[in-house]
Amino acid sequence: MKSFLDLDDLSADRLEAVLARAGELERRPLSDALRGRIVALLFMNPSLRTLASMQAGVAQLGGTSFVIAPGQGSWQLETRDGVVMDGDAAEHVREAIPVLAQYADALAVRCFARGKELGEDLADGVIRAMAALSPVPFVNLESAASHPCQVLADWKTLDDLEVPRHGGRFVLSWVWHPRPLPYAVPASALAMAARRGMQVTVLRPEGYGLPESVMARARAWAARSGGSVTESSDREAAMTGAHVVYAKSWAAPAFYGRPAEEAPVRAGLREWCVSEAWYRSAAPGARFMHCLPVRRNVKVTDEVLDGPRSVVVRQAGNRLHAQKALLLEMLAGEGA
């Protein structure tokens, strides 16, 4: 595996191997497997967990990382081909990626959705173009349409908590947020849960159904895994018997790239904030998951987040273990 752009890039076999190794690394964190190796971390957008866990993980494996943040101490980067670069961006990824690849044994890149055109962002062309430009292993740290390190950690979290792969009920719920957000996390979480064989419901208000290509991919995984994928705007029905609520906000596809037009619709949906009341019909001990950062009392109440249902900190902890296992898979071979 030269590039890890999406969870789909891991075969069933390698996915299980990475999860197993993540568990071993959780128990014995330190090694010298990456001694003398350098991982370049290119962040075109903000980060806390990813930035911290990648640096910590590389260090615990005996390697070194460095951070480049275009626009914050580095040049803004152009990602489109063929343009006349007389605007803000002083450098093109066609130079930046091959150049950085000469300084590192792997590149890991965060590059969020532009948020202008739905089809462009769903195609995830920018991160794919950057990966294609890299002669060294390339890790997606969240792109326009995918956040595979997050959902690799989420899969491990579900395993750790013994949420059943088959028969487990997973509710991916839209929640309110002041601004329309991209599809990277919901699309990745949905595909992950479907691939894991779970019974998945996408709970969302009318008008907030995920794009058809996102739904189709999840249904294809469910068909292979023996899981299922449905959609609903009926909270009570969707929550019945749920083992997990995975909360996330996202843009209304019909208004993509036109936030001012979406604003009045969105304004009426502030009650989409996960609270204890949501769990009335859920399975006993049902969990709350979120990729973080999360806005308290906007997406979820303090009560849920500070209570026993919440596993958000554990999810974040698994970022470290999962990413270390992934780096070993990509950089150090199976025997490392």
Of 43 and 138, nearer to a second copy (C-beta) is: 43
Q: Given the complex with a second copy, which of 224 and 270 has the nearer CB atom? A: 270
3-class DSSP string for 206-226: CCCCCCHHHHHHHHHHHHHHC
Nearer to a second copy, 215 or 289 (CB): 289
Beta bridge partners of 203: 173, 232
Q: Which is nearer to a second copy, 17 or 69 (CB)?
A: 69
In the complex, minimum distance from the CB of residue 49 to a second copy, in angstroms, rounded to a whole number:
6
List, as one string, the DSSP characters of 57-100: HHHHTT-EEEEE-BTTTB--EE-SSS----SS--EEHHHHHHHH
Q: How far is the CB of 239 from a second copy (least distance, A)?
A: 23
CB of 90 to a second copy, least distance (A): 5
Closer to a second copy by Cβ: residue 167 or 293 = 293
218 or 325: whose CB is closer to a second copy? 325
CB of 315 to a second copy, least distance (A): 9
- Does residue 152 contact residue 224 with C-beta atoms inside 8 Å? no
- Least distance (Å) between residue 229 CB and a second copy: 29
As a whole number of angstroms, the distance between CA 203 and CA 232 comes to 5
Q: Beta-carbon neighbour count of residue 223 at 10 Å?
A: 12
Contact status, residue 117 vs residue 257, Cβ threshold 8 Å: yes
Residue 81 CB neighbour total at 10 angstroms: 10
CB of 100 to a second copy, least distance (A): 6
Residue whose pair of structure tokens reads 């690849």 in the numeric block? 101
**What Å distances lie between residue 50 and 31, 81, 196, CA to CA?**
20, 28, 23
**Chain contacts with a second copy (rule: CB under 8 A):** 30, 36, 38, 40, 43, 46-49, 51-53, 55-57, 59-60, 64, 66-70, 72-75, 78, 81-86, 89-92, 94-96, 98-100, 102-104, 178, 292-298, 302, 305-306, 312-313, 316-317, 320
